[in-house]
Amino acid sequence: MARHLITSAIPYINGIKHLGNLVGSQLPADLYARYLRARGHEVMFICATDEHGTPAELAAAKAGKPVADYCAEMHEVQARIARGFRLSFDHFGRSSSAENRALTQHFAKRLAEEGLIREVTEKQMYSVADGRFLPDRYIEGTCPNCGYDSARGDQCDNCTKQLDPVDLIEPRSVISGSTDLEMRETKHLFLCQSAMKDKLAAWIDSKTDWPVLTTSIARKWLFDGDGLQDRGITRDLSWGVPAQFDGAPWAGMDGKVFYVWFDAPIEYIAATQEWAAATGGDWARWWRTDKGADDVTYTQFMGKDNVPFHTLSFPATILGSAEPWKLVDYIKSFNYLNYDGGQFSTSRGRGVFMDQALEILPADYWRWWLLSHAPENSDAEFTWENFQTSVNKDLADVLGNFVSRVTKFCRSKFGEALPAGGVTGPREAELMAELETRIRTYEGLMEAMEVRKAAAELRAIWVAGNEYLQAAAPWSTFKTDPETAAAQVRLALNLVRVYAVLSAPFIPDAAAAMLAAMGTEDRSWPEDIGAALAVLPEGHAFTTPDVLFRKIADEEREEWQRRFAGRRD
Q: Where are the beta strands (DSSP E) in 82-180?
A: 91-94, 117-127, 132-133, 139-142, 151-152, 169-173
Chain centroid to Cα 451, Å, comes to 12
Question: Which run of H or E residues covers position 560?
Answer: helix 554-563
Question: Which run of H or E residues covers position 284?
Answer: helix 284-287
Let me know: does 168 contact 148? Beta carbons within 8 Å: no
Question: Which run of H or E residues covers position 45?
Answer: strand 42-49
Radius of gyration (C-alpha) of the chain in whole angstroms = 27
Q: What is the Cα–Cα distance from 211 to 232, expressed in whole angstroms?
A: 28
Chain centroid to Cα 436, Å, comes to 30
Let me know: does 48 contact 93? Beta carbons within 8 Å: yes
Amino acid identity of 327?
L
User: Is 71 among the annotated ligand-binding positions?
Assistant: no
User: Is 389 among the annotated ligand-binding positions?
Assistant: no
Q: What is the Cα–Cα distance from 356 to 564, expressed in whole angstroms?
A: 10
Question: Which run of H or E residues covers position 508?
Answer: helix 508-517
Judge residue 383's burial from the number of C-beta atoms within 10 Å of its C-beta, 0-12 exposed, 13-18 middle, 19 or more buried: middle
Q: Where are the beta strands (DSSP E) in 420-566?
A: none
User: Is 410 among the annotated ligand-binding positions?
Assistant: no
Amino acid identity of 59?
A
First-to-last CA distance in the chain? 55
User: Is 346 among the annotated ligand-binding positions?
Assistant: yes
Judge residue 554's burial from the number of C-beta atoms within 10 Å of its C-beta, 0-12 exposed, 13-18 middle, 19 or more buried: exposed
Residue 270: name the closest of 289, 252, 284, 291 by CA: 284
Chain centroid to Cα 158, Å, comes to 20
How many CB atoms are closer than 10 A to CB 567?
9
User: Is 47 among the annotated ligand-binding positions?
Assistant: no
Let me know: does 421 contact 440? Beta carbons within 8 Å: no
For residue 453, give the DSSP letter. H
Let me know: does 23 contact 354? Beta carbons within 8 Å: no
Q: What are phi and psi of 231, to 5 degrees?
A: -130, 130
The 10 Å CB-count burial string (b at 16+, else e) for 203-222 is bbeebeebbebbbebbeebb
Can you say which residues are annotated as belonging to the binding site for ATP?
Answer: 346
Can you say which residues are annotated as belonging to the binding site?
Answer: 143, 146, 156, 159, 346
Can you say which residues are annotated as belonging to the binding site for Zn(2+)?
Answer: 143, 146, 156, 159
